[in-house]
Amino acid sequence: MAEPRPRIPARLLVAIALSASLAPLNSTMVAVALPEMSRDLHAESSVLRQGLVSSYLLTNIVLQSPGGKLGDRLGYRRAIALGQVLFALGAALAYVWPRLPGLTAARILMAAGGAILAPSAFALLRTELPAEVRGRAFGTLGAILGLSAGLGPKIGALLVTHFGWTSIFLANVPVLLVSAAVLHLGASATSRPNEPAVARPRFDLLGSVLLGASLLGLVIGLENKDLRWAAALGVLGFVPFALWERRAADPIIDFSLFRRRTFVAGSLLIAIQNFAMYSTLFELPQVAGRLFGAGPRDVGNTLVTMMAMMIVASPVAGRASERFGARAVALAGSALALGGMVLLVLLPFHSVTDAVPALGLLGLGLGLTSAPSQASSMNDVPREKSGMAAGLTSTMRYLGGIAGLTVLGLVLTESKVPEIARHEHATSIVIFCVSLVVTLGCALLLPGRLPTPVPSAETR
């Protein structure tokens, strides 16, 4: 008689999902409140975007790897609790000090909490669950994170309309309280701590500062045409960081991870996936507006096809990778995503709705690729370095999106001439297609079959 398949503890997944989903939710929810905030605070929209949106994203990028490493040291449940406290303090600060300095400080504090929450959430799943159910867990969590980002503007609009814009901050607090209670109740006596029993060196603060400065310069330079020199300084800054990490007693990033083929392949897949997704999300509205005069509502209703297919496919990919192996599922997803991109060039493009079939295929492919990539990269690292690995993959995810926006800034112009707009659209899509071809090679490096289940004596 076949042994029953291990089940994913629902309480653990719910607690992790509630906390981890707040970071993507708040990255998009604030967008709809900016006009109201601009009027009430007598501040220009561009100033608000820099203070509340850009600072939030930059803090997330800079602190992902240190946040993951912190989870390795503290233990993932304690790190999640710390992230929850920081996020709640930021949300409360924004509510009690609704002025630009207070809101900016609050958003940075919330981003710092989110940067600890996300890597520790994935690391906790990796360490608490047996290998044969991690694909499902990562797929389900990925779908929830995507859904929260997609619902952010709708939830934000509802809160702003009925309760005012300060409510988008205060609404985070009860969610965090519920998540903390569920996670605490879900902690079992048999849960193993992820930190070793021996004394450890102090946290690598200098490495964190060097890494943060390099990433900050790189991102600022990529996002601003007038500050390209900052990107060059950011790249050069990785040299002293790498030299220091080689001698640090307990480095933020263990470079031996990059000798692990599966970890590198999975991380690249995640980065390129975000490159393609964010590029499409920002390229289509610009081109459709210039070609057909399509408004935000029409473009949004079209793009929801891609996001919906990603959300549906992600948990399916988790189950499929457990049965057929990560390589087969990621290959299928990469091929479908590439096919969707090719259709965006080949299909007649007379209105924005003509892109729906291609976007559906693209979203299906991206969704199928996500879970096996994340699960494979996490399974390929030592258990005690799960937080570090999750932080690195999260950083790669953000950098992939920023790289896509940088490419669009180089290719797209403001020209209203249809021939120029179509040429720029074709050029952008060809670049995205080339990137997705790379994912086919990365998918081939993922494991063909699932790892052998852990013996029952070692499981939880």
Do 366 and 389 have their domain in common?
yes
For residue 390, give the nearest of 138, 168, 204 by alpha carbon. 138
Do 296 and 383 have their domain in common?
yes
In a domain, 36, yes or no: yes
Do 129 and 243 have their domain in common?
no
pLDDT for the residue 196: 45
Do 244 and 125 have their domain in common?
no
In a domain, 397, yes or no: yes
Do 35 and 92 have their domain in common?
yes
Average pLDDT over residues 9-25: 83
- pTM: predicted TM-score of the whole model, two decimal places: 0.80
Encode pLDDT of 267-323 as tens digits. 999 999 888 887 887 788 777 777 777 776 777 778 888 888 988 898 888 888 878
**CA of 224: how far to CAs of 47, 54, 85, 280, in Å?**
15, 12, 33, 20
Q: Which of 168-172, 241-245, 279-283, 424-428 has the lowest mean pLDDT?
A: 279-283
pLDDT for the residue 187: 57
pLDDT for the residue 302: 81
Do 307 and 176 have their domain in common?
no
In a domain, 287, yes or no: yes
Residue 442: exposure state from Cβ atoms within 10 A (0-12, 13-18, ≥19)? buried
Structure tokens given for 151: 């619902």
Question: Which pLDDT band holds residue 152 (cuts at 50, 70, 90)?
Answer: confident
Range of the domain at 18: 10-189
Structure tokens given for 26: 């708040």
Q: Which of 4-8, 86-90, 403-407, 448-452 has the lowest mean pLDDT?
A: 448-452
The answer, yes or no, to whether residue 395 has pLDDT greater than 90, is: no
pLDDT for the residue 105: 94
Do 161 and 245 have their domain in common?
no
In a domain, 436, yes or no: yes
In a domain, 195, yes or no: no
In a domain, 456, yes or no: no
In a domain, 226, yes or no: yes
Instruction: Compute the half-sphere exposure of residue 388: CA atoms within 13 Å on the CB side of its CA.
Output: 24
Strand ranges in 156-226 using DSSP code E only, listed in sequence order: none
Question: Residue 75's domain is classified under what CATH number?
Answer: 1.20.1250.20
Do 131 and 16 have their domain in common?
yes
Domain count, the chain: 3
The answer, yes or no, to whether residue 343 has pLDDT greater than 60, is: yes
* Mean pLDDT estimate for the chain: 83
Do 326 and 440 have their domain in common?
yes
Encode pLDDT of 115-139 as tens digits. 999 899 888 888 888 877 777 888 8
Domain stops at, among 163, 189, 215 = 189
Do 218 and 179 have their domain in common?
no
In a domain, 4, yes or no: no
Structure tokens given for 65: 């790897």
